Structure 1
């Protein structure tokens, strides 16, 4: 029964009166309360209360809770605390309601961020929440942490969170609001996979990554030319996925800078597989190419596979590809993905 999705388990138990309450023994719980109809929301809350009360003190392996508008935040608190109390190992929280505010989540912060049994924690789509990580954050067994569409109260919040996860191996920071941070510091000795993508960094923000055991690095944020990017101790890195995107200058204009590609490649000295997206925008002209004064050592001695995505057939892009082919000393494969070009753009390129 535990191997079935929760909906299928409930349907199966309806086949016989002997199986009537058997579904309450399943250890993987999925409660989806993203409902538009008020009557359905009320039925969902009543079902969830009844289901969890029937389970009593049976341990929880995985608890996935999705809540939309109209779900009582007090019940949400009760359900999550129930899972934490029963030793949940995998916790997914998906909130899609602006009525669930920071003050509603405060009492949960201590319980969730001091859970001794958690192996995986995913927080997704909390549009109105500003997380303040408790001072005594302690997630000793946590290996996977995914943060989506969140905002941290200050620099210290994310530092406290990471310092409290001594066994962390995978960190994803996706589409989070980081514009209020002065420094994003990811320093962790056990981290193996790191993704930071899908949002904006403040103009004065300093991004420091110091992860000696990192194997895979995925980076794709819009940042400013004033942003300080520090990548250190990445000697274990074997794969890097970089989306250069746009760089914002002081006049709030967007432009692309091939130099940033080489700055990153120099920092990723031991990488063997390099994926690159977003080399240039629509207005990126042939005169913007700048050959680096010093070739990245990883390009000469380590990189065996290069993948370039979203090529727009601009002259400068082909110059970059030509440079990579000439300088890649141990390259074994090169993959180039070209985007669809409209007739007007094709005519401009031909000129």
Structure 2
């Protein structure tokens, strides 16, 4: 019988191949990965093989202050310089977050180094008043995703080319002009997912997204867009979320492939603002539609009211509820334009009156209904009885007080 070998004290991990150890280190922060270099000679240079690099410095950042009480901006810059100088592998993920005290020339060099190493996923959060990205960024063929959060005006030059870029997230970006927007989106031939959040539209008169491959589009909380037109032409778009103030106008075309739409207009409301027919007509082919009460009010003001012939799910949330503003037409009118509706969730106050002619969807299609903010009063009871009496296909009826 073989003797049991006493493995106590044997370092099995260090015996693993470099590829496995570098993969393990990729789950650590860059700082922690570098710290493993002091473990032994075997670990001294392993951090240079890690493909994920994450550098973050902010004088207000709690993590940095607690662990490096005596650290300075210079310490951070030297640390990044050292890691990139010794780094020997390609970079899959490169994330950089830094404040105004970090030298802009160093930032320029770090981004350039990531590009030279074939970066695929680039996440930049740069709080500078002025900065010019390296020219190589705008012709980076390896980029698959680009996430920008900037405090400066973004000037996108002509000749930009992102042949493999699939994901583009812009946060707090201020574009120089309409050409910058056009140059950026026209350069991304493989684009599938776009998020535009808290961007400044002051310099933009036409924010035009015309793209054949785009599948997901999210627009949230933009600033100074009162003079801006949103123009969207995306024949393969499957998901569209718009949570924002109203802008000067909308043009939505070729959204026949849309599956889910979420339209949430903010509480700012002006009866003299843009015609909403285009945006709601544009999403009328969606299978699932989510609205807030303000969005419902705007939808019901459209002439003609769109027909939602393929919609099977409708959610109306009590966000920005306009209880102080009368809604002449209620949810009942929308139900009459939704013949295939199977699932409905709504705030009970939005069902203004009970139609004499029962909507066809209630008679034969609606399987699940959720009523929010239900009260023990005559009006609510009348609505519930109406639904139970006429719900020919109803399987689930949920009431939440």
Task: Give the equivalent residue in structure 2 for 1:331.
Answer: 341
CA distance in 2, matches of 1:199, 1:278: 20
TM-aligned CA deviation for residue 208 of structure 1: 1.0
| Matched residue count | 317
Structure 1 regions of 5+ residues with no counterpart?
248-253, 342-351
**Shift in alpha-carbon separation, 1:292–1:170, aligned structure 2, 3 A:** closer
Could you tell me whether the CA contact under 8 Å between 1:313 and 1:338 is conserved in 2? no
CA distance in 1, matches of 2:46, 2:59: 26
Three-state SS of the structure 2 residue aligned to 1:184 is strand
Task: Give the equivalent residue in structure 2 for 1:195.
Answer: 218
Tell me the C-alpha RMSD between the 2 structures. 3.0
Equivalent of 1:269, from 257, 264, 284?
Answer: 284
TM-score by length of 1: 0.81
- Does 1:30 find its partner at 2:61? no
Equivalent of 1:86, from 104, 117, 120?
Answer: 117
Could you tell me whether the CA contact under 8 Å between 2:175 and 2:200 is conserved in 1? yes
Three-state SS of the structure 1 residue aligned to 2:169 is strand
- Does 1:119 find its partner at 2:127? no
Could you tell me whether the CA contact under 8 Å between 2:264 and 2:295 is conserved in 1? no
Task: Give the equivalent residue in structure 1 for 2:77.
Answer: 45
**Shift in alpha-carbon separation, 1:307–1:42, aligned structure 2, 3 A:** same
CA distance in 2, matches of 1:59, 1:13: 19
- Does 1:214 find its partner at 2:242? no
**Shift in alpha-carbon separation, 1:75–1:269, aligned structure 2, 3 A:** same
CA distance in 2, matches of 1:240, 1:138: 30
Task: Give the equivalent residue in structure 1 for 2:355.
Answer: none
- Does 1:245 find its partner at 2:266? yes
Larger radius of gyration: 2
Task: Give the equivalent residue in structure 1 for 2:171.
Answer: 148
Task: Give the equivalent residue in structure 2 for 1:344.
Answer: none
CA distance in 2, matches of 1:289, 1:220: 15
**Shift in alpha-carbon separation, 1:338–1:52, aligned structure 2, 3 A:** farther
**Shift in alpha-carbon separation, 1:40–1:336, aligned structure 2, 3 A:** farther
Could you tell me whether the CA contact under 8 Å between 2:294 and 2:322 is conserved in 1? no
CA distance in 2, matches of 1:154, 1:262: 27
Could you tell me whether the CA contact under 8 Å between 1:29 and 1:63 is conserved in 2? yes
- Does 1:61 find its partner at 2:84? no
Could you tell me whether the CA contact under 8 Å between 2:263 and 2:295 is conserved in 1? no
Could you tell me whether the CA contact under 8 Å between 2:234 and 2:255 is conserved in 1? yes
Equivalent of 2:188, from 159, 165, 177?
Answer: 165
TM-aligned CA deviation for residue 5 of structure 1: 2.5
TM-aligned CA deviation for residue 317 of structure 1: 6.2
Could you tell me whether the CA contact under 8 Å between 1:201 and 1:222 is conserved in 2? no
TM-aligned CA deviation for residue 216 of structure 1: 0.7
TM-aligned CA deviation for residue 258 of structure 1: 11
Instruction: After superposition, give the CA deviation of every residue in 1:40-61 in whole Å (9 maximum; x if it has no partner).
Output: 32221111111111114x2111
**Shift in alpha-carbon separation, 1:264–1:289, aligned structure 2, 3 A:** closer
Could you tell me whether the CA contact under 8 Å between 2:246 and 2:265 is conserved in 1? no
Structure 2 regions of 5+ residues with no counterpart?
1-21, 350-371, 374-401
TM-aligned CA deviation for residue 134 of structure 1: 1.4
TM-aligned CA deviation for residue 269 of structure 1: 2.9
Equivalent of 2:256, from 235, 258, 266?
Answer: 235
**Shift in alpha-carbon separation, 1:289–1:184, aligned structure 2, 3 A:** closer
CA distance in 1, matches of 2:155, 2:273: 37
**Shift in alpha-carbon separation, 1:35–1:297, aligned structure 2, 3 A:** same
